[in-house]
């Protein structure tokens, strides 16, 4: 969800009417800001996919990302208005598109800051000397480890029990966790501090939040590549997996990730571009920004996979030594007789010499496989926290790496939040009604306060399940629809030829045949096929399902959503997508009324 | 004489093997992982080490019961393997051919586990008494959790930052109001002439959108209807 941060700088100048825009290195700051959004949390979250993910990602970038980015920038630059105004010019029936973007941003800001709260929680716990997720806590009579923790790993226990205190299903609300509440309040206070003064202060903060993650990634790259077993992860990353390429889910994830990391559909790109000079070469901008975006993703993936390889190798070697210990103890062999190399031959020898005992032992002997370790995929928010905390606890000087990592995560998260809240605040601060009655500090404060109160839902014991609902359904479908409407509007309602002529005026040459094909055919077709896939998936499974944590087994189980959760999902999707048709309907009705009043006058 | 000695010896052996057997009553299995614990500094397990073990167990029994009756000869070891694992049992010196109840041995070893471990330079994990569960030491918990301290520091910094910004914003706004009020007074005093253009005061004409002539502004009627 690394939404573009250009909105903060440029909407300010555009909408507050402060005068002529200072175009000091707009391009460089755009690149820096876009880079700040490019290095979003996405590579961390979806790192469980392999090179099988990188190929769809790059293809989607070229087919969808670049053309749509170019389109939005060109629209904004030509219409010279923010998102709501620009679509009104293209066709008055499309004024709902801008409003839908704002609604999506609003939903995003409601749930996104919870991630920052978790990052704060982990950051504060990184200062302890053995990291708290490094070992399991003891049970009540101190004879062994806590039961739940023994079934799963200590990092998963820390995430599910100590951080979330998750309930077994979404129906059981549980109580509000005060520790999460204070972290959430702190996260919102930090966001408020940054947006308090409006976007001039936000601009300065963005310089930090965009550059620091790169530094940390460099440090992690050097550290990651020197870790034992990192090579395994890199090899895994670069070997193509054909089954994954055939799975349509991979392509969908790639497409949605491109949307989020480029900030398409949020309206911020249009607002930014409207601020550029008319003859600005937005084609060049679009290409350069997309390339920086993709290279950042690859860079982050390399870091992620080297750490992933380290974790997988570590777990594999642990598994092997456990098996060796078990065999050594049961058969009373000399220490050091069994090693990783002769394990297989020794197993055969033991099977032949002590067949009965070995057969008894068989269920306990796990087949350790490096491939299986590398294939274990952790999804969603859990990935960023569980995977990295597990890898970090095995490094030397783990506190330092942990602090660095969570500071980086915070920078990314707060950077994204700033863009989001700016997207919501700008229409509010620009409306004459509100800005005359309340100063902008108060408006920002009220927005942050309301979002914080709503965010308390996510701090309950079942909060993570609601978070997943918002995460999966709050923005994805709506953004797809918004972008689809935008493409169709520009190509067919406004007219591709008219758009070409505008571009000729602006940048001096007509767009290539490649761009035209992408805009007119490829991108709409792709988005429609994504929609169809979502629908068929939903119809096929009959109901939507989620992953719930089962404390007795120590793993995730699949459950069905109850009806009220499905209602909330429907509401989320409907409230942003319905803005478009409702906006069109309202304009239609208003025009009808005006015509009727004009005709009655005559 | 020799016969008697032989008989006594065989009796002792039989007694020994009856009392100390794998899974015998009140017998415990011990497992050592010397190479894992010490690596290159590992010592070899030989008869002297066995003697030390017997001594340590006897010491533990003496400490536990506070009677000085247990002798080294009361501790019997058997079934030594290459793993370095063996079974041991403690016989009762007062009564012949009986072993001390397992619960007593367990309690005694538990009480003195640390001493036994350090005699062999090993830990609870590497010197395992298989039926005796060790009491794991809980992690050290400071009085105030560390995370609360860091949280408090960050929270204070953020709140101070917010207050500073808010206060300076209010002050700046007061200054602006004050200045505009002052310039207002000044204008009243100096009675500056209002610049006009074609009879219309300039500030009305000074639209943000530029000098647009309102007559021609209607977008809808850009083209005259046919």
Residue B217: pLDDT above 60? no
Say how far apart CA A88 and CA A97 lie, in whole Å: 9
Reading the block at residue A224, the tokens are 């990651």
- Which residue among B135, B147, B162 sits closest to A193, beta carbon to beta carbon? B162
- Min Cα distance A71 → chain B (Å) is 26
Measure CA A167 to chain center: 24
Mean pLDDT of B175-196: 67
Report the pLDDT value the prediction gives residue A275, as an integer from 0 to 100: 72
Residue A181: pLDDT above 90? yes
**Per the CB < 8 Å rule, is A121 touching B147?**
yes
The structure's pTM equals 0.79
- Which residue among B83, B136, B151 sits closest to A332, beta carbon to beta carbon? B83
Say how far apart CA A469 and CA A464 lie, in whole Å: 9
**Per the CB < 8 Å rule, is B35 touching A335?**
yes
What residues in A contact B129, CB-CB < 8 Å? Answer: none
- Min Cα distance B186 → chain A (Å) is 26
Packing angle of the helix pair B47-65, B102-111 (nearest 10 deg): 100
Q: What is the mean pLDDT of chain A?
A: 80
- Min Cα distance A220 → chain B (Å) is 24
Report the pLDDT value the prediction gives residue A9, as an integer from 0 to 100: 29
- CB of A570 within 8 Å of a chain B CB? The answer is no
Q: Are A75 and A483 in contact (CB under 8 A)?
A: no
Report the pLDDT value the prediction gives residue B221, as an integer from 0 to 100: 55
Measure CA B96 to chain center: 49
Mutate to test the interface with A, among B35, B83, B207, B219 (most CBs of A within 10 A): B83
Reading the block at residue A580, the tokens are 């478009």
Q: A416 a known binding residue? A: yes
- Min Cα distance A63 → chain B (Å) is 38
- Which residue among B150, B169, B208 sits closest to A441, beta carbon to beta carbon? B169
Beta-bridged to residue A560, according to DSSP, are A545
Report the pLDDT value the prediction gives residue A1, as an integer from 0 to 100: 29
What residues in B contact A201, CB-CB < 8 Å? Answer: 165
Residue whose pair of structure tokens reads 């970090």 in the numeric block: A392
What residues in B contact A144, CB-CB < 8 Å? Answer: 133, 136
Residue A581: pLDDT above 80? yes
**Per the CB < 8 Å rule, is B36 touching A333?**
no
Reading the block at residue A403, the tokens are 């602090």
- CB of A125 within 8 Å of a chain B CB? The answer is yes
Beta-bridged to residue B91, according to DSSP, are B99
Report the pLDDT value the prediction gives residue A552, as an integer from 0 to 100: 85
Report the pLDDT value the prediction gives residue A454, as an integer from 0 to 100: 93
Report the pLDDT value the prediction gives residue A12, as an integer from 0 to 100: 28
Q: A261 a known binding residue? A: yes
Report the pLDDT value the prediction gives residue B151, as an integer from 0 to 100: 93
Q: Could you report how far apart the first and last alpha carbons of chain B are, in Å?
A: 146
Q: For B138, which residue in chain A has the nearest alpha carbon?
A: A138
Residue B185: pLDDT above 70? no
Number of H helices, E strands in chain B: 7, 6
Tens digits of residue pLDDT in B206-215: 544 555 566 6
- Which residue among B134, B154, B166 sits closest to A186, beta carbon to beta carbon? B154
Neighbouring residues of B53: CB distance < 8 A, sequence distance ≥ 6 = B30, B75, B77, B88, B120
Residue whose pair of structure tokens reads 């005559």 in the numeric block: A602
Query: Which ipTM was obtained for this model?
Result: 0.78
In the three-class reduction of DSSP (H, G, I as helix; E, B as strand; rest coil), residue B123 is classed as coil
| Nearest C-alpha neighbor of B150 from the set A124, A189, A130 | A124
Reading the block at residue A342, the tokens are 């002769």
Mean pLDDT of A412-422: 83
What residues in A contact B208, CB-CB < 8 Å? Answer: 17
What's the full length of chain A, in residues?
Answer: 602
pLDDT band at A257 (very low <50, low <70, confident <90, very high): confident
Least confident of A11-20, A538-547, B34-43, B149-158: A11-20
Least confident of A71-85, A153-167, A483-497, A502-516: A71-85
Q: For A182, which residue in chain B has the nearest alpha carbon?
A: B151
**Per the CB < 8 Å rule, is A189 touching B155?**
yes
**Per the CB < 8 Å rule, is A332 touching B139?**
no
- CB of A336 within 8 Å of a chain B CB? The answer is yes
Interface of A with B in 138-157 (CB under 8 A): 138, 142-145
- Min Cα distance B208 → chain A (Å) is 8
**Per the CB < 8 Å rule, is A120 touching B151?**
yes
Q: Are A533 and A247 in contact (CB under 8 A)?
A: no
Residue A29: pLDDT above 50? no
Report the pLDDT value the prediction gives residue B212, as an integer from 0 to 100: 54
- Which residue among A127, A189, A329 sits closest to B162, beta carbon to beta carbon? A189
- CB of A20 within 8 Å of a chain B CB? The answer is no
- Min Cα distance A439 → chain B (Å) is 10
Residue A18: pLDDT above 50? no
pLDDT band at B157 (very low <50, low <70, confident <90, very high): very high
Report the pLDDT value the prediction gives residue A25, as an integer from 0 to 100: 27
Least confident of A10-19, A312-321, B41-50: A10-19
- Min Cα distance A197 → chain B (Å) is 7
Mutate to test the interface with A, among B35, B42, B110, B136 (most CBs of A within 10 A): B136
Residue B18: pLDDT above 70? yes
What residues in A contact B135, CB-CB < 8 Å? Answer: 142-143
- Min Cα distance A147 → chain B (Å) is 15
- Which residue among A124, A182, A189 sits closest to B159, beta carbon to beta carbon? A189
Percent of chain A with pLDDT over 90: 14
Report the pLDDT value the prediction gives residue A37, as an integer from 0 to 100: 42
Say how far apart CA A3 and CA A462 lie, in whole Å: 27
Say how far apart CA A555 and CA A591 lie, in whole Å: 58
Say how far apart CA A277 and CA A428 lie, in whole Å: 26
């Amino acid at each position: 969800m690394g939404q573009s941060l250009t909105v903060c700088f440029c909407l300010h100048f555009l909408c507050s009417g402060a005068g002529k825009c200072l175009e000091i290195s707009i391009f460089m700051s755009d690149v820096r800001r876009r880079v700040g959004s490019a290095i979003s949390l996405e590579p961390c979250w979806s790192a469980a996919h392999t090179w099988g993910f990188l190929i769809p990602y790059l293809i989607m970038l070229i087919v969808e990302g670049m053309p749509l980015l170019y389109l939005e920038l060109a629209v904004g630059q030509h219409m010279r208005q923010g998102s709501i105004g620009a679509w009104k010019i293209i066709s008055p029936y499309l004024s709902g598109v801008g409003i839908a973007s704002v609604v999506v941003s609003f939903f995003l800001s409601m749930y996104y800051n919870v991630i920052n709260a978790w990052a704060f929680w982990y950051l504060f716990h990184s200062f302890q000397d053995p990291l708290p997720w490094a070992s399991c806590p003891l049970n009540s009579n101190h004879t062994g480890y806590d039961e739940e923790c023994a079934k799963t790993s200590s990092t998963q226990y820390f995430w599910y029990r100590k951080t979330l205190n998750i309930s077994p299903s979404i129906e059981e609300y549980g109580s509000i966790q005060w520790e999460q509440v204070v972290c959430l309040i702190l996260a919102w206070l930090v966001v408020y501090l940054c947006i308090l003064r409006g976007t001039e202060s936000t601009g300065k903060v963005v310089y930090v939040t965009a550059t620091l993650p790169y530094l940390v990634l460099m440090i992690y790259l050097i550290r990651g590549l020197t870790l034992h077993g990192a090579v395994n992860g890199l090899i895994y990353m670069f070997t193509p997996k054909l089954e994954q390429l055939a799975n349509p889910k991979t392509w969908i994830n790639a497409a949605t990730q491109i949307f989020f990391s480029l900030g398409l559909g949020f309206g911020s790109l249009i607002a930014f571009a409207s601020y550029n000079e008319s003859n600005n070469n937005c084609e060049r901008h679009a290409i350069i920004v997309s390339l920086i975006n993709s290279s950042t993703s690859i860079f982050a993936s390399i870091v992620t996979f080297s750490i992933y390889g380290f974790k997988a190798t570590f777990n594999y070697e642990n598994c092997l030594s456990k098996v060796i210990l078990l065999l050594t103890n049961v058969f009373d062999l000399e220490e050091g007789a069994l090693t990783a190399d002769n394990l297989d031959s020794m197993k055969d020898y033991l099977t032949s010499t002590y067949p009965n005992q070995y057969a008894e032992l068989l269920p306990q002997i796990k087949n350790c496989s490096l491939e299986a370790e590398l294939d274990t995929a952790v999804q969603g928010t859990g990935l960023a926290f569980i995977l990295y905390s597990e890898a970090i606890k095995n490094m030397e000087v783990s506190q330092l790496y942990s602090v660095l990592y969570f500071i980086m995560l915070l920078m990314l998260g707060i950077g994204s939040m700033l863009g989001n809240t700016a997207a919501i605040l700008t229409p509010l601060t620009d409306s004459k009604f509100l800005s005359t009655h309340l100063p902008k500090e108060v408006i920002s404060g009220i927005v942050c306060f309301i979002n914080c109160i709503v965010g308390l839902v996510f701090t309950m014991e079942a909060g993570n399940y609601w978070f997943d609902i918002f995460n999966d359904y709050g923005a994805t479908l709506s953004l797809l629809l918004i972008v689809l409407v935008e493409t169709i509007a520009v190509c067919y309602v406004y007219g591709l030829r008219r758009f070409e002529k505008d571009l000729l005026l602006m940048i001096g040459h007509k767009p290539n045949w490649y761009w035209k094909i992408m805009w007119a055919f490829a991108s709409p077709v792709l988005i429609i096929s994504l929609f169809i896939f979502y629908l068929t998936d939903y119809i096929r499974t009959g109901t939507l399902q989620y992953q719930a944590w089962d404390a007795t087994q120590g793993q995730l189980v699949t459950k069905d959503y109850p009806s009220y959760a499905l209602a909330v999902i429907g509401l989320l999707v409907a409230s942003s997508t319905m803005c478009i048709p409702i906006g069109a309907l309202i304009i239609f009705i208003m025009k009808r009324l005006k015509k009727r009043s004009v005709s009655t006058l005559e | 004489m020799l016969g008697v000695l032989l008989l006594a010896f065989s009796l002792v052996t039989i007694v020994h093997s009856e009392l100390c057997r794998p899974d015998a009553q009140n017998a415990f299995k011990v497992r050592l992982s010397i190479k894992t614990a010490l690596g290159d500094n590992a010592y070899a397990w030989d008869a002297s080490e066995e003697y030390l073990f017997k001594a340590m167990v006897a010491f533990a029994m003496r400490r536990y019961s506070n009677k000085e009756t247990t002798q080294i000869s009361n501790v019997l070891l058997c079934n030594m393997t290459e793993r370095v694992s063996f079974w041991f049992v403690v016989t009762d010196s007062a009564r012949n051919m009986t072993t001390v109840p397992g619960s007593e041995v367990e309690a005694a070893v538990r009480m003195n586990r640390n001493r036994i471990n350090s005699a062999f330079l090993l830990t609870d994990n590497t010197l395992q008494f298989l039926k005796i569960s060790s009491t794991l030491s809980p992690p050290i918990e400071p009085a105030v959790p560390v995370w609360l301290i860091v949280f408090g520091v960050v929270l204070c910094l953020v709140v101070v930052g917010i207050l500073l910004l808010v206060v300076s914003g209010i002050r700046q706004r007061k200054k602006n109001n004050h200045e505009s009020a002052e310039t207002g007074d000044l204008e009243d005093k100096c009675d500056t002439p209002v610049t006009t253009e074609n009879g219309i005061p300039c500030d009305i004409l000074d639209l943000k959108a530029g000098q647009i002539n309102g007559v021609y502004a209607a977008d809808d009627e850009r083209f005259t209807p046919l």
